[in-house]
Structure 1
Amino acid sequence: MTIDLARAVGAAIGGQYRRVVIGKDVRTSGDMIACALSSGIMSCGGDVYDVGMIPTPTLAHATKNYDCGLMITASHNPPEYNGIKMWNPDGSSFDDDQMEDIENAVRELKFKRADWRSVGTKYTHEGAVESHIEIISKLVGPITAKVVVDCGCGATSTITPRLLRELGCSVVSINSHPDGFFPGRSPEPTEDQLVRLKDIVLSENADIGIAHDGDGDRVVMIDEKGRFIGGDKLLALLTAMFGEKEVVTTIDSSMVIDELVEGKVVRTRVGDAYVSNMMKRTGIEFGGEPSGTFIFAKNSLCPDGIYAAALLVKIASENRISEIVDSLPNYPSFRGSFNFDRTRRKEIERTLAQEIEKVKCDNLLTVDGFRAEFSDGWFLIRLSGTEPKIRITVEARTEEALTRLKTISMEIARRCIS
């Protein structure tokens, strides 16, 4: 993310949206990008409402009474990265049409510049964290639990420990000082990064451990036994608790979701923006991804790792959360990827479609890549939207079926890139 690009994005936004909320996570380039964005917006007549350092879901909530919100973040990616997420007042991400409008304006440098009498103004927006805490508190209610929170030195350092204490929890917080160098651990809360959190959950005899990514749209969990519970398991757990009628999830989610839902499962392309916008179109109340993003429509159409954390702590205060996890179906799975030459993308897409035609499966989903479903499992082969990689996901009811489906899918991927 360069200054020139940020300024151009700001100009494109300012030409279409009059009142724009801007927030940033803890990354060192956040202030620089915020200044460039703001100048672009104001140069086209838009007003900027600066909320400062804030988690993504808090920014989405703060956008409610404005025209749009811009979050400067790279989420779970390494510290040197940065980007811009765009939100509508209802908390949903910009859809494809909105994004295309902005991209076209930036590409063609077609901006509606204001003259000196109508340039925008910059304001300070205060109270966003307090407002978010109030909303979650009303939805969740009091909690009595002992919880360890690992904020990863990210944007949730300013809210999750405080929220849980105000709800009545005994809270031990680690990595809860905002730092754009992320000295405590990686912004992505993977199992290998959470050894310290596991140890403290056990030594403190806590009911649950919670960990966020860099901007707070994701959450993962450590149960009271010190076991890592990733986004895929949490999606199943939250589906069992809150989504038994209808659920929106992504094409790469487990078949466990289908078994837990009494009504329909709607699958979208990979990405929380697609989940959010499908929920908006269908009116379905709960959606999520195996990556650890969860959306509750009664809270917001933005993935809210802070609200999800409060719900998980609430569950842990009323049950042994390990017992709930152990009661869920558990199938062997595999995730892998192959790199390819970026210049061959179109060719590989065509070859993959031809290879999939040869597969004899019970059902084929094509909303994002190809998900081939069988009586004993499924595999998904898709090209990454952000990297030159073919991604493979496999899940089966038995280890034997997993081996078979893994072999088939990997052979297809190899033929595509050979």
Structure 2
Amino acid sequence: MRLFGTNGIREVVGPTLTPEFTTRLANAIAGTIPVGKPVVVGWDGRTSSRALSSIVSSTLALAGHHVIEVGLLPTPAIQYMVVRLAAQLGVVITASHNPPEFNGFKCIHSDGLEIPRSAEEEIERRFADAPSSAVPYRSVGEIGVHGGGAREYVHGVLARVDATRISARAYTVVLDVGNGTAAVTSPDLLRRLGCRVVTLNGHVDGTFPGRPSEPTEANVADLRRAVPSVGADLGIAHDGDADRAVFVERSGRYVPGEEILALLARDAVRRHGGGIVVTPVTAPDSVEEAVRPLGGEVVYTRVGSPNVTRAMLARHAVIGGEENGGLVFPEFQLARDGAMTVAVVLDRMAREGQPLDVLLAGLPHHTLLKEKIPCPLDRREETVRAFAERFGPGAERVVTIDGVKIYHPGGWVLLRPSGTEPLLRLFTDSKDPKRARELADEALVAVRASIGT
């Protein structure tokens, strides 16, 4: 039984994600580690997260584990605390950027990385077989609380950048928290970096009343208007669990995540005199064009932060990340980290003495288009196969790391099943915006015809 997608487990609360499901999952997780080991539990601000965390903590304690609740925190902060508290495992209750009716679970290894697929499979086996992990009454574990996680995490981020240099610039920043967990860390981080902070959607609310949780260009329209309106140097937006950050230039232009990835990858490769950059197959060719002249090499993976971080660990990468704003800085931790991304971007601006738009102007530029196509779960794989059969013959190159990526003259098109929703995700990339649009339109017609929509 497959439970885990590209980034943990995500289900709709009520129909699928029930108290019974949660208890059974927590029992399965509990049985994968030795009795008596410490386990960190943290959660996001969704309406169901606190209740689900209580079920998880109680089930783990009844299995004999010592539970340390770190509370409502960004996912990367919880990963950071797993290592600091020397826990055997971490459980994060979050559905990241999914709509508010969803919630889910991520499991964190003792090294702070999301658990590998082999560990996910063990949990899935135990979930299916449902052996009890409960222990006798004398062996029941305790549930403790550690309340300093937000402060410790912010201090950890600050230690990786030149806070004095950034503070000297006295930047004005508009921060769109998106009613997510960044509310407990990012405003404090920015103020400690000497920024004047104007906040939007700055309180935690699991219904996401201010905007949808995913910080796409359309969803952060208020931020794009606010940045030039207040004369800010930069705009920042997070997703629901703050493992991603996207940016808005002083003019109000939304910066696609792949541009930040290319900028910071080039900087990391330059500082290291070369090195490996890890990114999923969804990244545009501009990342490779940015780092190759400096001795950088791009290693491509399947989509999903566990795939990226595990490949980074194996290849000793200097940086990694996805085109959606989820970047990984191995010198801090092998986790997608929105706050660390914010600090590094400000550090780069302060070091160069240039605004973000000027820093981005020197990068290779591609147009990366993204489309979501609703598709029943049982039709996704056959639709991808049909797409490959139609567009693969005669292509310059076909890559099947994740879905199918087909290179045509002047660009490429990628179709893959979503790992978190009943969708197909379509990506097209080209130096020519018109060519990118042509590839996307042609692919959309074919995919919708195949599905019957």
Q: Does 1:382 align with 2:416?
A: yes
How far off is 1:407 after superposition? 5.5
2:284 is paired with a residue whose SS is: coil
How far off is 1:343 after superposition? 3.3
Which one of the candidate residues 282, 286, 290 is aligned to 2:323?
290
Q: Using the alignment, how far apart are the partners of 2:431 and 2:404 within structure 1?
A: 20
TM-score by length of 2: 0.86
> 1:404–1:179: structure 2 CA closer, same or farther, 3 Å change rule?
closer
- Does structure 2 retain, via aligned residues, the 8 Å contact 1:14–1:43? no
> 1:243–1:365: structure 2 CA closer, same or farther, 3 Å change rule?
farther
Which residue in 2 is equivalent to 1:254?
284
Q: Does 1:104 align with 2:125?
A: yes
Amino acid at match of 1:256: S
* Mapping of residues 304-383 of structure 1, within 5 Å: 304-317=337-350, 318-355=353-390, 358-383=392-417
> 1:216–1:387: structure 2 CA closer, same or farther, 3 Å change rule?
closer
**Superposition RMSD in Å:** 2.1
2:209 is paired with a residue whose SS is: coil
Alignment deviations for residues 119-167 of structure 1 (CA, whole Å, 9 cap, x no partner): 1111111211111111111101211322121111211111111112112
Which residue in 2 is equivalent to 1:29?
48
Q: Using the alignment, how far apart are the partners of 1:337 and 1:184 within structure 2?
A: 22
Which one of the candidate residues 222, 230, 242 is aligned to 1:196?
222
- Does structure 1 retain, via aligned residues, the 8 Å contact 2:381–2:417? no
Q: Using the alignment, how far apart are the partners of 2:249 and 2:113 within structure 1?
A: 30
Q: Using the alignment, how far apart are the partners of 2:241 and 2:31 within structure 1?
A: 27
Q: Using the alignment, how far apart are the partners of 2:305 and 2:313 within structure 1?
A: 12
Q: Using the alignment, how far apart are the partners of 1:403 and 1:205 within structure 2?
A: 33
Amino acid at match of 2:49: G
- Does structure 2 retain, via aligned residues, the 8 Å contact 1:155–1:178? yes
Which residue in 2 is equivalent to 1:271?
304
Structure 1 unaligned segments of length 5 or more: list them: none
Moved over 4 A (4+): none
2:336 is paired with a residue whose SS is: coil
Which residue in 2 is equivalent to 1:66?
87
* Mapping of residues 116-195 of structure 1, within 5 Å: 116-142=137-163, 143-144=166-167, 145-195=171-221
2:334 is paired with a residue whose SS is: coil
Q: Using the alignment, how far apart are the partners of 1:325 and 1:375 within structure 2?
A: 26
Amino acid at match of 1:308: T
Greater shift in the superposed pair: 102-111 or 382-391: 382-391
- Does structure 1 retain, via aligned residues, the 8 Å contact 2:258–2:287? no
Q: Using the alignment, how far apart are the partners of 2:372 and 2:249 within structure 1?
A: 29
2:199 is paired with a residue whose SS is: strand
Greater shift in the superposed pair: 124-133 or 330-339: 330-339
Alignment deviations for residues 357-416 of structure 1 (CA, whole Å, 9 cap, x no partner): x42233222110111224521111222233343332111233554355346534653564
- Does structure 2 retain, via aligned residues, the 8 Å contact 1:394–1:402? yes
Q: Using the alignment, how far apart are the partners of 2:416 and 2:448 within structure 1?
A: 13
- Does structure 1 retain, via aligned residues, the 8 Å contact 2:97–2:240? yes
How far off is 1:209 after superposition? 1.1
How far off is 1:72 after superposition? 0.8
Q: Using the alignment, how far apart are the partners of 2:222 and 2:377 within structure 1?
A: 38
Which residue in 1 is equivalent to 2:23?
7
- Does structure 2 retain, via aligned residues, the 8 Å contact 1:70–1:84? yes
2:139 is paired with a residue whose SS is: coil
- Does structure 2 retain, via aligned residues, the 8 Å contact 1:45–1:119? yes
- Does structure 2 retain, via aligned residues, the 8 Å contact 1:105–1:111? no
Amino acid at match of 2:297: K
Q: Using the alignment, how far apart are the partners of 1:229 and 1:315 within structure 2?
A: 16
TM-score by length of 1: 0.93
